[in-house]
Structure 1
Amino acid sequence: MKRLHKHLIVAAVLVAGFAAALGSYLLLAPDGRGSKGLDVQPAPEAMPVRESSHRLTTPEKSELTIVEFLDFECESCGAYYPVVEKLRGEYGDRVTFVARYFPMPGHRNGELAARTAEAAARQGKFEEMYAKLFTTQKQWGESQDWKQGVFRGYAAQLGLDMDQFDAALADPEVAGRVQDDQRDGLALGVQGTPTFFVDGERITNPESYEAFKALIDARLDG
């Protein structure tokens, strides 16, 4: 099946800014090449963030919550990654940043990458695997080869117990945890990655770091 995804990546993200269409991926039917796709139903009562959601920052007094529905194999998510990192470095004491899974059906290893991150979370290493998957994305993304061996290597590098990691990766509950995020995303109208919510409101993806920072400042000052 021919992909309709158009990857519009700006080389110098923080200097040149984002193209307006960055991240505008359309949901497609699974392509049958190993990606499990979005074979889930929307949640009956969707929530942008849940108690079980992975929080990248936990300020003592949170003034704002930013949720990103992401796909580790999505190039646009990879382009936003350093922006989000810089923003949470600046606002982490005031803003709660949340990462939620939304692997896209056209990506061979997107769902596997999400399960890899969740398996790492079982050992308290979600944030470390989250960073590892994004900083190495160019090495494994957009491949039609199955990358479980590569991801196991990352787990070993992070010092995870490999028996526990392998068991978690194969655990239906881990796959179900990924699908729980997808269900919420679908019910909230997420149609591609990345999709951001600010205090429960879906926003148009900011086109640059400066635009994202201005949006946060406006909400904090409002």
Structure 2
Amino acid sequence: MKTETKIMASILIFIAILLAGAVFFLSGDQKTMSQGEGNQLTYKIDYSNGQKIGSDSAKIKLVEFSDFQCPACKGFEPFLKQALTDYKNDILFVYKHFPLPQHLNAKTAANMAEYAATEGKFWQMHDKLFETQEQWSALKDPTEFFIKLGKEIGLDETKSREAIEKSLYNNLISRHKDEGINLEVSATPTVFLNGVKLKLQKFSDLTQEIQKQL
């Protein structure tokens, strides 16, 4: 009988340890996510850190982690632009950088875009980088190509070169990427709608997902 009691006590202690570990693990996860409606995970996103279109008070908050060298990100652009046009009064859109390691020119492109942002021309450069993606993706050094793009939208050549050659905005780009990793982003484009990571079967489903929130 004493042996059975000892076994039972050991089992109870083991279960208690497991439960304590589970509570600790789940409480740690609450830093970045919580349980939303329909058992969806809702991530806690910094909407202030990124290039924005729309009002901070908008009902729909759409965040994209993107890579200028990513073909899928370029393919997503027309659907995103259509959604931003159709729901322009209801959406805050935030663009964040997530350059993938296999895309060797992506971080350079992001630096160029962030310099353009200081001149109020982020979205113009954003569009140019995606429009010309096939032309610069395979370049060993895209510096001169990016400077040329900058000149087309009125950016200073010397400042463009400095932004690229000194990687002036690497810290900002790294903050975006670190946030993405913390939010379990592993591929691009990754899109969050009101904190919920979307699993789009096709990019055209974006409009349907937005409509559900209105």
TM range (shorter): 0.7 to 0.9
Aligned equivalent of 2:90: 94
- Aligned-residue CA RMSD (Å): 1.8
Matched, 1:187 2:182: yes
Aligned equivalent of 1:123: 119
Matched, 1:153 2:120: no
1:115 shift after superposition: 0.8
Distance 1:166 1:216 in 2: 39
Distance 1:117 1:158 in 2: 12
Where in structure 1 are there 5+ consecutive unaligned residues?
1-44
The aligned runs of 1:139-178 (5 Å cut-off) are 139-141=135-137, 143-171=138-166, 173-178=168-173
Structure with greater contact order relative to length (CA < 8 Å, sep ≥ 6):
1
SS at the partner of 2:213? Answer: helix
**Structure 2 length as normaliser, TM-score?**
0.75
Where in structure 2 are there 5+ consecutive unaligned residues?
1-30, 33-43
- Runs of 4+ with deviation above 6 angstroms: none
Matched, 1:62 2:19: no
Contact 2:143 2:161 in 1 (8 A): no
> Which of residues 174, 191, 213 is equivalent to 2:207?
213
1:172 shift after superposition: 5.2
1:190 shift after superposition: 0.3
Contact 2:68 2:109 in 1 (8 A): yes
Distance 1:170 1:177 in 2: 16
Question: Which structure: greater helix fraction?
Answer: 2
1:59 shift after superposition: 3.5
Structure 1 residues 60 and 197: CA distance shift in structure 2, 3 A: closer
Q: After superposition, give the CA deviation of every residue in 1:32-77 in whole Å (9 maximum; x if it has no partner).
A: xxxxxxxxxxxxx76533423101x213851111100000000000
SS at the partner of 2:119? Answer: coil
Contact 2:64 2:94 in 1 (8 A): yes
> Which of residues 92, 97, 107 is equivalent to 1:111?
107
Matched, 1:51 2:45: no
Distance 2:165 2:175 in 1: 17
Aligned equivalent of 1:22: none
Contact 1:118 1:174 in 2 (8 A): yes
Contact 1:206 1:212 in 2 (8 A): no
SS at the partner of 2:54? Answer: coil
Contact 2:63 2:93 in 1 (8 A): yes
Higher deviation after alignment, 143-152 or 174-183: 143-152
Distance 1:160 1:144 in 2: 21
Please tell me whether Structure 1 or Structure 2 has the larger radius of gyration of its CA atoms. Answer: 2
Contact 1:195 1:205 in 2 (8 A): no
Structure 1 residues 115 and 84: CA distance shift in structure 2, 3 A: same
Aligned equivalent of 1:200: 195
Number of positions where the alignment pairs a residue of Structure 1 with one of Structure 2: 173
Distance 2:196 2:213 in 1: 12
